Structure 1
Amino acid sequence: MAKYEALGLIETFGLVFVLEAADAMCKAADVELIGYANVASGYISVLVQGDVGACKTAVEAGVAAVKAMEGGNLYSSIVIPRPHQDLGKIIKRYSITNLVTE
């Protein structure tokens, strides 16, 4: 976490929307996809990390992509510049590397 300056998060209702958001985020800026969290009752968040400008660009692109979809259901979005190091404890839980078995 120390090498990154920001986190970008988008929360939608439904897997299709969060996948569209994640795709747009990763294509729009030099960010790393951290993972996702199935929050509750269909709400899903996607997390990226990178420098502040890249996270802002990525979140804006992800939000626009969801809003452009028919029935696009964006719940919330945020960019956290310079997150406190303890947030790494939460983020680690939702890391893609913890979800994928090889």
Structure 2
Amino acid sequence: MEAIGMVETRSLVAALEALDSMTKAANVQLVDLKKVGSGIVTVIVTGDVAAVSAAVETGKTAHTRTGGELISSNIIPRPHSGLSMIL
């Protein structure tokens, strides 16, 4: 795993819109889509650092097409191997 990218929204539809845009914008793979609760959904992708950065930037704006709310986003370049057990 070279990088992990996350986009968290309030709305499943917004998260799916973000995920669709992220995978079309860059060569990233879906790791997981976590439903946290209270309508909060986190999309987690992986790929090389540049691709994940581009995908997260695209996902941060894509959710607005559905009226969803961006809660948070983050990119972890070269994550520790222990993180893969959590994801």
TM-score band by shorter chain is over 0.9
Of structures 1 and 2, the larger Rg is shown by: 1
Q: Which secondary structure state, in structure 2, belongs to the residue aligned with residue 60 of structure 1?
A: helix
Q: So what's the TM-score if we normalise by structure 1?
A: 0.81
Percent of aligned pairs with the same amino acid = 49
**How far, CA to CA, are the matches of 1:5 and 1:58 in structure 2?**
14
Q: So what's the TM-score if we normalise by structure 2?
A: 0.94
Higher relative contact order (CA 8 A, sep 6+): 2
Residue ranges of structure 1 left out of the alignment (5+ in a row): 92-102
Any runs of at least 4 consecutive aligned residues in structure 1 with deviations exceeding 6 A, and if so which? none
User: Who is 1:97 aligned against?
Assistant: none
Q: How many residues align?
A: 87
Alignment match of 1:82 (pick from 34, 56, 78) = 78
Note if contact 2:13-2:68 (Cα within 8 Å) is conserved in structure 1. Answer: no
User: Who is 1:53 aligned against?
Assistant: 50
CA RMSD of superposed structures (Å): 1.0
Residue ranges of structure 2 left out of the alignment (5+ in a row): none
